[in-house]
A and B are shown apart, each in its own frame.
Chain A
Amino acid sequence: MQLDKKLIGHSFKPFTTTVEAGKIRLFCKAIGEENPIYVDEAAAKAAGYRAIPAPPTYLTAVTNDDPDKGGLLRLLNVDIGLILHGEQHYEYLAPVHVGDKITCQQKVMDIYDKKGGALWFVVSETELKDQAGKPVAKAKGITVVRNPDAAKK
Chain B
Amino acid sequence: MATAPKFADVKVGDTLKPIVLPPISRHQLALYCGGSGDHNPIHVDIDFAKKFGFKDVFAHGMLSMAFLGRLVTSYVPQAQVRKIGTRFTSITWVGDVITVSGKVTGKREEGGQKLVDLEVKCTNQNGQDTLQGDATVALN
Beta-carbon contact of A56 and B81 below 8 Å: yes
Beta-carbon contact of B81 and A30 below 8 Å: no
Chain A: CB-nearest residue to B74: A35
- Which chain A residues lie closer than 8 Å to B39 at the CB level? 69
Residues of B40-67 at the interface with A, using a CB-CB cut-off of 8 Å, are: 40-42, 48, 51-53, 60-63, 65-67
- Looking at B7-15, B26-34, B110-118, the stretch in contact with chain A turns out to be B26-34
- Which chain B residues lie closer than 8 Å to A35 at the CB level? 1, 73
What is the distance, in angstroms, from A32's C-beta to the closest C-beta of chain B? 7
- Which chain A residues lie closer than 8 Å to B87 at the CB level? 86-87
Given B35, B61, B72, which contacts A56 in the complex, CB threshold below 8 Å? Answer: B72
Beta-carbon contact of B73 and A55 below 8 Å: yes
Beta-carbon contact of A48 and B35 below 8 Å: no
* Cβ proximity bits B73-106 to A, threshold 8 Å, 1 near / 0 not: 1000111011111111000000000000000000
Chain B: CB-nearest residue to A94: B79
- A-side interface mostly: mixed
Count A interface residues, CB 8 Å.
Answer: 40
- B-side interface mostly: helix
Beta-carbon contact of A48 and B79 below 8 Å: yes
Beta-carbon contact of B70 and A80 below 8 Å: no
Q: Kindly name the residue among A27, A53, A79, A88 whose own CB sees the greatest number of chain B CB atoms within 10 A.
A: A88
Count B interface residues, CB 8 Å.
Answer: 42
Contact status of A47 and B1, CB under 8 A, knowing A31-B32, A57-B62, A61-B37: yes
Contact status of A80 and B1, CB under 8 A, knowing A55-B69, A85-B62, A89-B85: no
Residues of A39-96 at the interface with B, using a CB-CB cut-off of 8 Å, are: 47-49, 53, 55-57, 60-61, 64-65, 69, 79-92, 95
Beta-carbon contact of B1 and A88 below 8 Å: no
Given A27, A30, A56, which contacts B84 in the complex, CB threshold below 8 Å? Answer: A56
Residues of A13-52 at the interface with B, using a CB-CB cut-off of 8 Å, are: 23, 26-33, 35, 37, 47-49
Known A30-B34, A80-B41; further 11 A-B contacts with Cβ < 8 A: A26-B34, A32-B21, A57-B62, A57-B65, A60-B37, A61-B37, A65-B37, A79-B52, A84-B88, A87-B86, A91-B82
